[in-house]
Structure 1
Amino acid sequence: MKKNVYMTGYLPLFSIILFSSGFAIYFERLLIDKLKYFGVYQGMQELFKDHVIHLSVGFCLFLLFFMGFAALKLLSDTLTHLSLFFFSSDSEGTLLQEGKSGGWFFFAGGMLAIIFNHSVLLICIVFVAASLVYFFYLLLRIGGNLTTFGIIGMVFMHLFFWAGFGLIVVYTVLRLYNAFVAAIT
């Protein structure tokens, strides 16, 4: 049987859809409970049916998470290409093809995210685990074609970028939260 390199091209899209759905299902339930607690849900029921409210909230949350995961995928691909540009001698793109089959890890993680949609912590753990397993799988697949300096450079480039990106996001969220709390008190 002939192996087709485009066979796994759909995996990133399906993985993003599955992870987005897992998070959206969890937060839709949480948001509906909060709307009921604050008494907003009863007012919404006067205008819309229950299934329309649930579907609308779930779809809006799905879109938000879909956009977030698509942006993370774009950043990840760009960072991988950039690190291979700096730390490998491959100019044909063969190293990129080596890691394409690792998309199955994210697909399996997305399936688990749907199963574990009752806990946001479990979904986050699954996402981080799928990301780490994919990264180490990529390093194992392309490690034979990189020098020791190239592997170390690639690891530290990813580590510094994602740590910096995470810290900037946390800092921004804390600043916005503090500004919001200061405005309402």
Structure 2
Amino acid sequence: MQASMKKNVYMTGYLPLFSIILFSSGFSIYFERLLIDKLTYFGVYQGMQELFDDHVIHLSIGFCLFLLFFMMFAALKLLSDTLTHLSLFFFSKDTEGNLLQQGKGGSWYFFVGGMLAIVLNHSVLLIGIVFLVASLLYFFQFLLRISARLSTIGIMGMVFLHLFFWTGFGLLVVYTVMRLYNAFVAAIT
């Protein structure tokens, strides 16, 4: 009787995929509306309407944006998982993977955040804030769960490794986007 009541650890294995789908949908809905507005403003949308029906244009743009955001969030999850494994390798003495299993379970933050992203699809800033809050909640929940088996230096090392990596990665992305934007503006003028 006791064994049948035991919680199945694979029960929430679908949550990361659904979270990525929900966040991707929230962002793609917002940017699809923005892109359609810009295409209409520049007069391109009317030309597209001569070739395709409205729903085909909306579905095509929405699907392409969804794929773009899906790939972006999947890559971010891959980076995050790799960084977590690397930080546990450097700052813990666990060789069995027990700490990684103990820290699991925060996927609900991203899932709830993804549902909020769908509701808040009218504001990219709000969706971004929800994603950032879900990420921070997940990270701090992970640290709290494994903190009993890590030294103070290990916890500080994990925090600083993540902080330095994500800050550097974010600055690199902003720098690259600004360079591309400046090159695009220079080519137009």
- TM > 0.5: yes
CA–CA separation in structure 1 for the residues paired with 2:179 and 2:58: 31
Q: Name the SS for the 2:105 alignment partner.
A: helix
| Identity percentage of aligned residues | 83
1:88 matched to 2:92: yes
Query: What residue is the counterpart of 1:76 in the other structure?
Result: 80
Q: 1:6 aligns with which of 10, 26, 29?
A: 10
TM-score (norm 1): 0.98
* 1:100-119 to 2 correspondences below 5 Å: 100-119=104-123
CA–CA separation in structure 2 for the residues paired with 1:98 and 1:25: 36
* 1:99-178 to 2 correspondences below 5 Å: 99-178=103-182
Query: Deviation of residue 85 (structure 1)?
Result: 0.4
Query: Deviation of residue 87 (structure 1)?
Result: 0.4
CA–CA separation in structure 2 for the residues paired with 1:181 and 1:119: 26
Query: What residue is the counterpart of 1:35 in the other structure?
Result: 39
Task: Read off the aligned partner of 2:48 and give its amino acid letter.
Answer: M
Question: How many residues end up aligned between the 2 structures?
Answer: 185
Query: Deviation of residue 99 (structure 1)?
Result: 2.2
Unaligned runs of 5+ in 2: none
Query: What residue is the counterpart of 2:71 in the other structure?
Result: 67
Task: Read off the aligned partner of 1:10 and give its amino acid letter.
Answer: Y
Task: Read off the aligned partner of 1:44 and give its amino acid letter.
Answer: M
Task: Read off the aligned partner of 2:91 and give its amino acid letter.
Answer: F
Query: What residue is the counterpart of 1:181 in the other structure?
Result: 185
TM-score (norm 2): 0.96
Alignment RMSD (CA, Å): 0.7
Q: Is the 8 A contact 1:16 1:70 kept in 2?
A: yes
CA–CA separation in structure 2 for the residues paired with 1:62 and 1:100: 27
Runs of 4+ in 1 over 3 A off after TM superposition: none
CA–CA separation in structure 1 for the residues paired with 2:183 and 2:61: 26
Query: What residue is the counterpart of 2:50 in the other structure?
Result: 46
Q: Name the SS for the 1:142 alignment partner.
A: helix
Query: Deviation of residue 98 (structure 1)?
Result: 1.7
Query: Deviation of residue 6 (structure 1)?
Result: 1.1
Query: Deviation of residue 109 (structure 1)?
Result: 0.4
